[in-house]
Structure 1
Amino acid sequence: MSDTVGGDEPLLNRAQIAQIFNVSENTIDKWRGKGMPVEVEGGNGVAYGFLFSACKEWFDESQARAAAEKRAADDFVAQQRMAFLGIDKKDQKAGLSPAQMRELAQAELVWMQAAERRRSLVQVDEMVELLDLVFGEVRAGLDGLPDWLEREFSLSGEDVERVVAYNDGILRAIKIAIEAAALRERPEVVDPLDRGLI
């Protein structure tokens, strides 16, 4: 298609306008459905005709509108998140834009990664794995202890039962201590000056 409309700008077909925007012809059809301007309506053997300048203007406006809608949605999400988390607007973080919140989150991530490299911060799953291993060894040792004591010291059946009961008590105490620590709120960090330690 080599016709020109209103001066030097040529009228382009679907394939040509798709090539300029680096998209498929199907995408051009979708964009047409969303309002991309068409100079010549195609159909029944007639090719669609597009002016690049009109299509580019529509594309830029669509991108700007989509960006504005995304910003509005991001702002809404941030506000609802603050409300859900109970963050007061007076909180220092409350006035941050989504971009500033992202920067703050990235800074916190870098700090946590550095702390993790120093081994002053341990991942929960690593700790759970370590505790599973340690307590597995403790349980195995306590379970095998009565048999070992019976063989080494010729304990009576009654004495072995007492050792088993004692070991069960140790395991129960460990379980209670773990549950209490997991359910207890973390203590507030107290300044050593306030406690009279310094």
Structure 2
Amino acid sequence: MTDDLGGAEPLLNRAQIAQIFNVSENTIDKWRAKGMPVDTEGGNGVAYGFLYSDCKAWFDETQARAASEKRAAEEFVAQQRMAFLGIDKRDQKAGLSPAQMRELAQAELVWMQAAERRGALVQVDEMVELLDLVFAEVRAGLDGQPDWLEREFALSGSDVERVVSYNDEILRAIKATISAAALSDPAELVDPLDGGLI
């Protein structure tokens, strides 16, 4: 066999091959035990002999195999993590490492705190409380409207019933709009028809 310079490739001892790979002789012994090729077996005063080209080919193959196994393991972990967290693979966060997810969460927290200080972000429980107050006013007004219309405009009983039905439809439309917006847990949404939770 010839080396890169065109001459015959020399047989190297443990110290020399270790020096090329920048590792200790103990590491060479471990690599030999794992399958690194040896041209001349040593022992009883005979030095081990290594051909660099064979050792380099084994090293490159071993590194490539280790990298492939690591990628496969990382992909498996990522898939299992996504399944456990219920994240869709198309989600932009799906490919992030735990450290990147932590950084993203910290950035989102800082953004939300700043938005809350500016008044651009409201806590869900505060919004539910506000909606409850608003619906109480709307409900009271709409509940009293038929009686007021009957007194002010001398509406008949059937006309009052039509007004009550119309008002109920308004409240149902408000409820549907809020449910579709999914502003909070559905269990916390106020039912505008009875003042209770939906």
Q: Which has the larger radius of gyration?
A: 2
TM-score when normalising by structure 1: 0.49
Identify which of structures 1 and 2 has the higher relative contact order when contacts are C-alpha pairs closer than 8 Å and 6+ apart: 2
TM-score when normalising by structure 2: 0.49
